[in-house]
Amino acid sequence: MQKNKKIIYGIMSVLIMLMIILDTKTAIIGAREGINLCLKTVIPSLFPFFILSGIISSCFQGHNFSPFRPIARLCKIPSGHDSIFLLGLITGYPVGAQMVAQEYKRGTLSKENARRMLGFCSNAGPAFIFGMLTSIFDNKRFIWMLWGIHILSAIFVAIILPGIPDDLRTKQNTNSVSLSQAMDNGIRNMARVSAWVVIFRVFIKFCERWFLWIFPVNLQVFFSGLLELSNGTVLLPQIQSEGLRFIIASVLLAFGGLCVAMQTQSVTSTLGFGCYFPGKVLQCLFSFLLSSILQTHILSYNCCYKIKLSHILMVIILIFFVICYIYRKIIVDFAKRVLYNTSNKSKRGTSCYALSKKNHPLL
């Protein structure tokens, strides 16, 4: 199986190389635009937070924020790690995921809880939301509402994802990270993120040249945003309907784009994606529902996008199926646990919770 994967990766690499050779001009233009995007937007907005997040996470590790603790318990965040969720909402993609990985490496988070927290701790920050969307919406209330929807949908996902309220692992005392160490980590992570931005910008450029122009403008913007968030937000003014623009902006912010997913994987090392994609799908669906309802009340009748009841029902059904997908392992493990205990009396005294925690990747 591993040999087949290597062969597939090798063939894909050869095809991509041929594609770049045959259409070098498009590749160069895409790379140039990606580098400009990094220099003008990505690095200025993220690099300071990459440095500070390492220092802050080490300083506040093990501390609880009393006013936020009820929400943290509702979201099943392990005690002493409230700051990860809060700073993830403030600093933006993918700093929250980076902080989760740092706590896992320090031994203060179990792998199960760390993989679960990847589903809701990596979010778009106000620097990106207000910096990129200010010129797109004339009414500044819309931007505040988009940020509020983004936060609420992340909280909903945290409540739904199965887990335990407290990490059962022993906390380890850690020293604060020095400025030089934080600088080195920040440079490495920023280089990874910038590389992914450039790669995806080249890919989007090829898509625009070859087939993306066939689809309507709204789909082009949405597809570009799903691949790379910054590029999608820049194209949002092409959507004529203000209500639809509001909804698509909310969904794109919730998902973050495939490029952000690759950035997240690059800073989480051995953790992998964990619950990242199930969490982001749920966050997109909740954002769609909230933004669809809200835009009908804040926009005039002519400007709002008419959402059919069938669309709402379809999204609710999708939410149900995603939740079933997440929880299905619990039901399977429970059935296996009952059969196992009935056939082996020596294991009858084993705790059900302990077995579910051992078998379930999310617990």
- Mean pLDDT throughout 135-156? 90
pLDDT-wise least confident of 56-70, 266-280, 322-336: 322-336
Q: Are 92 and 49 in contact (CB under 8 A)?
A: yes
- Look at residue 64 in the predicted model and tell me its pLDDT: 63
Confidence (pTM): 0.79
- Look at residue 159 in the predicted model and tell me its pLDDT: 92
* 89, 126, 145, 241, 298 from 294: Cα distances, Å: 21, 20, 9, 15, 6
- Look at residue 150 in the predicted model and tell me its pLDDT: 95
pLDDT above 70 covers a percentage of the chain that reads 82
- Look at residue 313 in the predicted model and tell me its pLDDT: 86
pLDDT at 342 over 50: no
- Mean pLDDT throughout 13-24? 85
Average pLDDT of every residue of the chain = 80
- Look at residue 190 in the predicted model and tell me its pLDDT: 83
Q: Are 122 and 91 in contact (CB under 8 A)?
A: no
* 85, 139, 316, 323 from 155: Cα distances, Å: 10, 26, 17, 15
Q: Are 80 and 69 in contact (CB under 8 A)?
A: no
